[in-house]
Chain A
């Protein structure tokens, strides 16, 4: 049971890192993912949102809207900056929304208003949990004070958080006149997003237009380069640790039974039968450890999210399959390692005291 628990611990570690990785990855592109735009339009040369700056003139927005295949255009302003809340600075993506247009706002509300007016902000509910700030309290963005009017859900992670304010306020902060950052474009019924994006790029000069899926991929890739690689590395280290730990445990397990192996050999059990026994044993340990790990993680994920709300975790079927496949590989590798030990066991040693 101790061996199964130790191996389960290693698998749980890998699953947990995978959950962090998946959760953070999802969160990076959550805003784009939840927008129902078919095409995103931005400044030429820009192809992502994470840590990017983009300016699109209003007249270009009008040109996009004038394209026949376009059903609707929603502009947003966007800024990466630090928000001061509860005597602490929080890195935030600030999204400026047009007043009265709910289209690009928060997709899940925990409390209050979803659409900020002048001098108002909708902040992540997790930020409220962490700072103790609530509706009616104040936050500061780029030296300007805002009053919290709403708490949004699913908008906070270790990598970023999203705060919504009125476009006029953000425009004032950014000192922009007559421009926005991104255009969220809905295609007319029956029009393909990729085709519409190509048409916008051809029709409107000096803009980039990407279908939603491509924009998500592009943003995710940038995020990977900027930070998720570290999480990926942690996952790799966790996986390597799991393999080493499993191999070591199984090897130790066999080494501890060296005398019994010697006795079995002396009694006439062939090496082949011992290998089969070890493989069966390792297989059982691995399968039980994997199931135990999955159970542990299913408990640990909600507990962690409750204790450390700034971490976003996501256990996906893909991650379970990947770790399951790794478990099979670990099982095979761990079975091979003790073979040399078995071969080296001298049946004569059964005679030794």
Chain B
């Protein structure tokens, strides 16, 4: 099959109704090619996780269609969706989500119980994955004894055990130190390049830009054009610290102007005396502090 592995058209997801209705994802359309690594970035609360949940057959859209490998998944029942997730999709979570009572090897093999070949057929693949991810020596260890990087590598092996066509990764480097995060990103890059497995990745981590084939920018539930500049530096009006306006998650509106903050403490101080900080704030234009 030569078409895109994932095609989403006019996806919308709303929560609540009437005055409390929130449009978390708003008319999003996208294609993901086979073997492509697509990063979805955007500020906190922009709808990234909701979008990935829908693309990963975990959440039904309010409207729109999603096709995985040519199959419209919005028409599938719960059983069909479970089967699809088990056989064609792999998930990698920010907080690893390993099953604490199972060993490393059993965690990796867990999804194989749900696949056609079963655990027996998956054992050689599990051994190869553990070898490739440098986890063979930790094969019988319990998750609580692993480092963060090791846990995430186990989660990656688990995601790959059923040889899925698609992997969804939600902030896979979010709980890792710099070195482990870099390692995980390179593994995901290799998975897409070497195995032809498409990876859709949600991240705040700027380093993903170095390995992703394509960056999608989600803001207020809709995909928008990514600005030419990789960063939009503005100053926190309270402490004066430089903050990236694209990825910052703490905002306040005052007299029609938008202010960005480095921390909740600065935001709270601003909200206590907005006029004081707004007057003294000098918000330089993005171009003035452009940075590569």
Identify the A interface with B (CB < 8 A): 259-260, 263-271, 347-348, 350-353
Q: CB-CB < 8 A to B195: which residues of A? A: none
**Out of A267, A347, A351, which one reaches B111, CB within 8 Å?**
A267
B contacts, CB < 8 Å to A: 49, 52-53, 56, 58-59, 78-79, 82-87, 89, 91, 93-95, 97, 99-100, 110-111, 114, 158, 170, 174
CB within 8 A of A266: which of B83, B85, B87?
Answer: B85
Q: Residue of B at shortest CB range from A347?
A: B58
- Among the listed B79, B97, B111, which residue makes an inter-chain contact with A350, where contact means beta carbons less than 8 Å apart? B97
Closest to A270 in B: B82
| Chain B proximity of A277: nearest CB distance (Å) | 11
B110 / chain A contacts, CB cutoff of 8 Å: 267
> Given A348-B58, A351-B170, A269 and B99 touching (CB < 8 A)?
no
Report which of B94, B114, B170 forms a contact with A267, defined as CB distance below 8 A. B114
Verify B99–A260 contact, CB threshold 8 A: yes
From A259, A268, A269, A270, contact of B97 by CB (8 A)? A259
Q: Contact check, B86 vs A267: say whether CB atoms are below 8 A apart.
A: yes
Instruction: Write the chain A residue with the least CB distance to B97.
Output: A263
Closest Cβ of chain A: how far from B42's Cβ, in Å? 15
CB contact between B87 and one of A268, A270, A353 (< 8 Å): that residue: A268
The CA-CA distance from A227 to B213 in the complex, in Å, is 83
User: Shortest beta-carbon distance, B92 to chain A, in Å?
Assistant: 10
Asked whether, in the complex, the Cβ of A268 is within 8 Å of the Cβ of B85, the reply is: yes
> Which secondary structure dominates chain A's binding surface?
helix
**Chain B hits for A265, CB < 8 A:** 82
Q: Indicate whether A350 sits within 8 Å of B93 (C-beta atoms), given known contacts A260-B100, A268-B114, A269-B114.
A: yes
Distance in Å from the Cβ of A278 to the closest Cβ of chain B? 14
The reply to whether A268 and B94 form a contact with Cβ atoms under 8 Å apart is no
Q: List 25 A-B contacts (CB under 8 A).
A: A259-B97, A260-B97, A260-B99, A260-B100, A263-B97, A263-B99, A265-B82, A268-B83, A268-B85, A268-B86, A268-B87, A268-B89, A268-B114, A269-B114, A270-B79, A347-B58, A348-B49, A348-B53, A348-B58, A348-B59, A351-B49, A351-B53, A351-B93, A353-B95, A353-B174
- Which residues on A sit within 8 Å (CB–CB) of B170? 351
What 10 A-B pairs have minimum CB-CB distances, sorted nearest first?
A268-B86, A268-B85, A263-B97, A348-B53, A270-B82, A268-B82, A268-B114, A347-B58, A351-B170, A348-B58
**CB pair B85 A351 closer than 8 Å:** no
Q: In the assembly, what is the distance between CA of A352 and CA of B97, in Å?
A: 10
What would 19 more interface pairs be, CB under 8 Å, given A263-B99, A348-B58?
A: A260-B99, A260-B100, A263-B93, A263-B97, A265-B82, A266-B56, A267-B158, A268-B85, A268-B86, A268-B87, A268-B111, A269-B86, A271-B78, A348-B49, A351-B49, A351-B52, A351-B58, A351-B93, A353-B94
List the A residue with the shortest CB-CB distance to B111.
A267
CA distance A268 to B95 in the complex (A): 18
How many angstroms from the CA of A267 to the CA of B84 in the assembled complex?
9
- C-alpha gap A260/B170 in the complex (Å): 17
> In the docked arrangement, what's the CA distance between A114 and B127, Å?
80
> Closest approach, in angstroms, between the C-beta of B48 and any C-beta of chain A?
10
Whole-angstrom distance between the alpha carbons of A105 and B173 in the complex?
86
Chain A contacts for B97, CB-based, 8 A: 259-260, 263, 350
| Distance of A260 Cα from B95 Cα, bound (Å) | 12
User: Which B-chain residue is minimally distant from A262 (CB atoms)?
Assistant: B97
Report A-chain residues with C-beta under 8 Å of the C-beta of B95: 353
Measured between beta carbons, the chain B residues less than 8 angstroms from A271 are: 78
Which residues of the other chain, A, contact B114 by a CB distance below 8 angstroms? 267-269
Alpha-carbon distance A259/B82, docked complex (angstroms): 17
Set of chain B residues within 8 Å of A269, measured between Cβ atoms: 82, 86, 114
Roughly how many angstroms separate A306 CA and B86 CA in the complex, as a whole number? 60
- Min Cβ gap B103→A in Å is 15
Of A269, A270, A351, most buried by chain B (CB within 10 Å of CB) is: A351
| Chain B residues positioned under 8 Å from A352 (CB to CB) | 49
Give min CB distance, A315 to chain B, whole Å.
36
B181 to chain A: closest CB distance in Å? 16
Q: Which residue of A lies closest to B158 (CB)?
A: A267
Q: Give the nearest-CB partner of B79 in chain A.
A: A270
Set of chain B residues within 8 Å of A270, measured between Cβ atoms? 78-79, 82
Residue ID in chain A nearest B202 by CB atoms: A351
Once bound together, how far apart are the Cα atoms of A264 and B97, in whole Å?
9
Compute how far the CA of A264 lies from the CA of B110 in the bound complex, rounded to whole angstroms. 9
In Å, the complex CA distance between A269 and B113 comes to 9
Closest to B90 in A: A267
B101's nearest neighbour on chain A, judged by CB, is A260
**Which residues of chain B have C-beta atoms less than 8 A from A263's C-beta?**
93, 97, 99
B102 to chain A, nearest CB (A): 10
In the complex, chain A residues whose CB is within 8 Å of the CB of B85: 266-268
How far in angstroms is the closest Cβ of chain A from B223? 19
Determine the distance from Cα of A260 to Cα of B59 in the docked complex, in whole angstroms: 18
A348 to B48, CA, bound (A): 12
**Smallest Cβ distance from A89 to chain B, in angstroms?**
60
- Give the distance to chain B from A167, nearest Cβ to Cβ, in Å: 72
**Closest-CB distance, A259 to chain B (whole angstroms):** 7
- A263→B92 CA distance, assembly (Å): 10
B225 smallest CB distance to A (angstroms):
26
Bound form: Cα–Cα A268–B49 in Å? 18
**A271 to B82 CA separation, bound complex (whole angstroms):** 9
Chain B residues with CB under 8 Å of A348's CB are 49, 53, 58-59
